[in-house]
Amino acid sequence: MTSEWGEKSTAELMSRYVSKEPGHGVPKEGWRICLAHEFKEKRKPFQANNVSLSNVWNHIGLGVRYLIWWYKKTQVEKKAPFIDMFRAQPLRQIYGAPLGGIGGGTITRGWRGEFCRWQLNPGMYHFKTVIANQFTVCLRRGGQTVYQQVLSVERPPTLQGWNWGFCGEYAFYHALYPRAWTVYHLPGQNVTLTCRQISPVIPHDYQDSSLPVAVFVWDVENKNDYDLDVSIMFTMVNGSGHKDDKSGGHWNEPFHLEKDGEAVSGVLLHHCTTVNPYTLCIAAREQPDREVSHQTAFSPKGTCRDLWNDLITDGRLDSPTGSSPPTLKGEKVAAALAVGCLVPAHKHNSLEFCLAWDMPKITFGSGEREHFRRYTRYFGIKGDASPSLSHYALTHYKQWESSIEEWQKPILQDSSLPSWYKSALFNELYFVADGGTVWVDLSKDDDVSGGVRSEDGGLPAQPAVVKEYGRFAYLEGQEYRMYNTYDVHFYASFALIMLWPKLALSVQYDIAGSVVQQDLTERLHLMSGLRSPVKTKNVVPHDVGDPDDEPWQRVNAYLIHDTADWKDLNLKFVLQVYRDFHLTLDRQYLQDMWPICQAVMESEIKFDQDGDGLIENSGYADQTYDGWTVTGPSAYCGGLWLASLCVMCKMARLLDESEEYQHYKDFLDRGRAAFDRLLWNGKYYNYDSSGRQLSNSVMSDQCAGHWFLKASGLGDEEYQVFPKEKIQSALKSVFDLNVMSFADGQMGAVNGMRPEGVPDRSSVQSDEVWIGVVYGLAATMIHEGMWAEGMRTAEGCYRTVWERLGMAFQTPEAYCEKNIFRSLAYMRPLSVWAIQLAVNMSQEVSTAAAKTEDNKT
């Protein structure tokens, strides 16, 4: 199942590991890399200067308008643009699995051990490595320290009193999200350390999954003939490396909490900013054979030799009482926590730490409203929850791990699935927590549909699902700062509906509530240069807002295009409504959504200008690739339209709406015939029906409508829209051309390919590979029995991103064959879970067929 070039790619990541130590309890499956590895290929982000001359000419008006808008935003308003074309994030090939649950903020720990990416303020990222945040090991024998080492390969210019530069050839990192392992074989010491980090990201769990905590379990293996005393010290700066670390007024204090017969102690680091203040907490579990000690405060600058010597003297810290004074402006303060234990000869022991952060009340950039994070429902809103959070984490993490293993085990043990796929499936889930994610409770005055009630085609003010499970939002990307970007969520939503279905439904209620509202404030749209309303009624919004403004209150942060013309947004809403019902069987949800589906479909029908049952496209209305103009019905939007008509028929049947059934069935019958007549060329569906020179380009995503029908249990018999033989022929054409004729078949499927086998370069994005689209394509192939082709297609993207380009835990929206990538850490690749849905459905069909055969015999 795994290709020869793929096996070589995997082996390369570990080629510099010289030790034979496998570590303690490290699983076989996942993403593994030696800490000494260096990625050979260095890519640059797509920026304005990467646009070809022909496309510059086509977009010169957009360029001028964007530049004016960008200057006003950055220089006058002093705000960050929702997309910054001039200051894209450079590729840093350092990231590992993020820490923390869902919606409470995240801190990313790199695969070399650095704390390097911060999202504590909701949706706003800070990319800064805080070098003083480290783990240090101290080995003592017979009352004497024999070895003390910072477990980092770095050699920073600061903190020179510490022993830096651990040899990366003796360590490796292994990620299987939401857990990760780092194995250190201490050179010359015959000791192996395995640090296991656990975050509470647990499917179908809506309490513990919201907690802003992570646990570090250090397993110590002593292979010597003598006992060792082993201490691990955890150091943490009060802050995130941001300039406000020096704003003054921050302070630390030790704490001890005993509850239910279990005790934890540590240090609280109070970060007292004016907006969104928070408390960091480093803690350890107290046990009879463990010694916990601390240093309340130290200055993380200069040599910092005093702290180092404090530990080296006796393997513990001084543990002063009382809090530290508030910092002066310009000062930083840090804290340290050490835990020690005896590890007998040829035995194993473990040490447990917790990192927690408590920012219960949040305001977004506008500062207009205060929101309470989901976890405050269980731990309160006062900002004093860090001790309780750390106590809960340290006494419950074993239950979390049991739940995680129970969830992952059937997939990990499925020998029909290749190893790279198992890594992709779980590790791409990082974005559910680290997508600038917010998860908040509704306040008493929140109204998801702006006062438009069910009897008027709207919704209850607070639908039961939203009231019980809260509001959820994640960014289009860490660099594309718009929440719940709906055309992208269409792909990513498979992860939510399969693992946290209540959150998926909550997002749908929020979108539906926005559909029935309008904001007639006129604004300039940068692509056309025309002014039009922010949001019109009965149209799905592009997004629910910018975290630097006020999400949910002001939608459509995206102002490049007038999203009222994006026909696919409405269609994607309808398709998701039925798919979600199919997977949850929530009839109340179906009944609530039906009138809104009717409204958005009727707003689409007006685009059937010639009465053939197909909606027309013009300009950018297809929302496929920027700059790739669509004229007339297209494979992508036309396919989504027919699939939407099909699910409207199905929903009408379920709700006994016979007249509505016939209404949509008439459109479907006419549209199906027109679709084939206008777009089918004998091998695949043309990009569009304009007859222009490039209208017969092969679009990788041309079967998206059929994909959603299959994922919804439709697409056959009465609800077959696209003939099976044509779908399979189209998929074969895409595989032969977009996959195997592109980059030697090793980089996934390029968006657009000419029938002669060269990429379509007519637009800015047509020669890109969109990882999330490729995963959806692979799922479609598997639904159609093309298992090998589907896996080969998806494998190319995984290998490129995770093994070749060093983009682990920051999978981009897109890359080109050479040199360029675009938009790191993007939402769409969560669509890898669509592959798993297809696998599940395929296996169910096989099992059912086998039972039928057994019954016959």
677's CB contacts (< 8 A; 6+ apart) are none
Sign of CA dihedral 811, 433, 336, 184: negative
Supply the pLDDT for residue 618: 37
DSSP character for 544?
Answer: S
Alpha helices in 606-657 (DSSP H): 635-654
Q: What percentage of the chain reaches a pLDDT higher than 90?
A: 86
Write the pLDDT tens digit of every residue in 113-166: 999 999 999 999 999 999 999 999 999 999 999 999 999 999 999 999 999 999
d(CA 407, CA 510): 29
**What pairs with residue 361 in β-bridges?**
372
Is the Cβ–Cβ distance between 624 and 537 less than 8 Å?
Answer: no
Give the helix/strand (H/E) hosting 473.
strand 471-473
Could you tell me the two tokens for 738? 């977009």
Supply the pLDDT for residue 620: 32
Is the Cβ–Cβ distance between 578 and 651 less than 8 Å?
Answer: yes
d(CA 484, CA 573): 12
Could you tell me the two tokens for 614? 């197909």
CB neighbours of residue 141 within 10 Å: 13
Domains detected in the chain: 7-40+97-396 (2.70.98), 567-687+704-718 (1.50.10.10), 723-856 (no CATH)
Is the Cβ–Cβ distance between 423 and 29 less than 8 Å?
Answer: yes
The average pLDDT across 52-81 equals 85
Q: What percentage of the chain reaches a pLDDT higher than 70?
A: 96
Give the helix/strand (H/E) hosting 146.
strand 144-150
At 560, the pLDDT band (50, 70, 90 cuts) reads: confident
Backbone angle region of 260, left / alpha / beta, with phi > 0 → left and psi within -120 to 50 → alpha:
left
Q: Which of 158-172, 210-224, 516-530, 774-788 has the lowest mean pLDDT?
A: 516-530
d(CA 314, CA 426): 42
Give the helix/strand (H/E) hosting 432.
helix 430-434
Sign of CA dihedral 614, 618, 622, 624: positive
Supply the pLDDT for residue 619: 32
One-letter amino acid at 546 equals D
How many residues are there in the chain? 857
747's CB contacts (< 8 A; 6+ apart) are 769, 796, 797, 800, 815, 817
Backbone angle region of 613, left / alpha / beta, with phi > 0 → left and psi within -120 to 50 → alpha:
left
Q: Who has greater pLDDT, 563 or 164?
A: 164
815's CB contacts (< 8 A; 6+ apart) are 43, 747, 768, 769, 771, 800, 801, 805, 821, 822
CB neighbours of residue 588 within 10 Å: 11
Supply the pLDDT for residue 849: 73
Report which of 830, 798, 826 is spatially closest to residue 429, judged by C-alpha positions: 830
DSSP string, 248-291: S--EEEEEEEEETTEEEEEEEEEE--SSS-EEEEEEEEE-TT-E
Q: Report how far Cα 121 is from the mean position of its chain's Cα atoms.
A: 17
At 623, the pLDDT band (50, 70, 90 cuts) reads: very low
16's CB contacts (< 8 A; 6+ apart) are 34, 36, 37, 168, 169
Report which of 588, 435, 459 is spatially closest to residue 514, judged by C-alpha positions: 459
Flag whether pLDDT at 245 surpasses 60.
yes
Is the Cβ–Cβ distance between 449 and 517 less than 8 Å?
Answer: yes
Supply the pLDDT for residue 565: 65
| Coil/strand/helix, residue 197 | strand
Supply the pLDDT for residue 1: 52
**Does residue 178 have a cis bond before it (omega within 30 degrees)?**
yes
Give the pTM: 0.96
Write the pLDDT tens digit of every residue in 486-516: 999 999 999 999 999 999 999 999 999 999 9
CB neighbours of residue 599 within 10 Å: 18
One-letter amino acid at 428 equals E
Could you tell me the two tokens for 828? 């769409």
d(CA 574, CA 718): 19
Flag whether pLDDT at 416 surpasses 80.
yes
Sign of CA dihedral 836, 440, 283, 393: negative
Supply the pLDDT for residue 60: 87
DSSP character for 196?
Answer: E
Supply the pLDDT for residue 564: 64
Q: Who has greater pLDDT, 615 or 33?
A: 33
Q: Report how far Cα 381 is from the mean position of its chain's Cα atoms.
A: 27
One-letter amino acid at 854 equals D
Q: How far apart are the first and last CA of the chain?
A: 32
Flag whether pLDDT at 524 surpasses 80.
yes
* Parallel, antiparallel or unpaired: strands 44-45 and 820-822: parallel
d(CA 97, CA 756): 42
Flag whether pLDDT at 590 surpasses 70.
yes
Flag whether pLDDT at 630 surpasses 80.
no
DSSP character for 787?
Answer: H
At 622, the pLDDT band (50, 70, 90 cuts) reads: very low
Is the Cβ–Cβ distance between 436 and 124 less than 8 Å?
Answer: yes
Write the pLDDT tens digit of every residue in 324-373: 999 999 999 999 999 999 999 999 999 999 999 999 999 999 999 999 99
The average pLDDT across 305-321 equals 97
Residue keyed to tokens 């009222």: 564
Supply the pLDDT for residue 559: 86
Write the pLDDT tens digit of every residue in 185-227: 999 999 999 999 999 999 999 999 999 999 999 999 999 999 9
Supply the pLDDT for residue 241: 95
Flag whether pLDDT at 246 surpasses 90.
yes
Flag whether pLDDT at 547 surpasses 80.
yes
Residue 250 to residues 193, 271, 637, 760, 835: CA-CA distances in angstroms?
A: 34, 5, 54, 55, 47
Mean pLDDT taken over the chain = 94
Write the pLDDT tens digit of every residue in 645-664: 999 999 999 999 999 999 99
Q: Give me the phi and psi of 424, to 5 degrees please.
A: -60, -45
Residue 564 to residues 453, 532, 539, 594: CA-CA distances in angstroms?
A: 23, 9, 6, 21
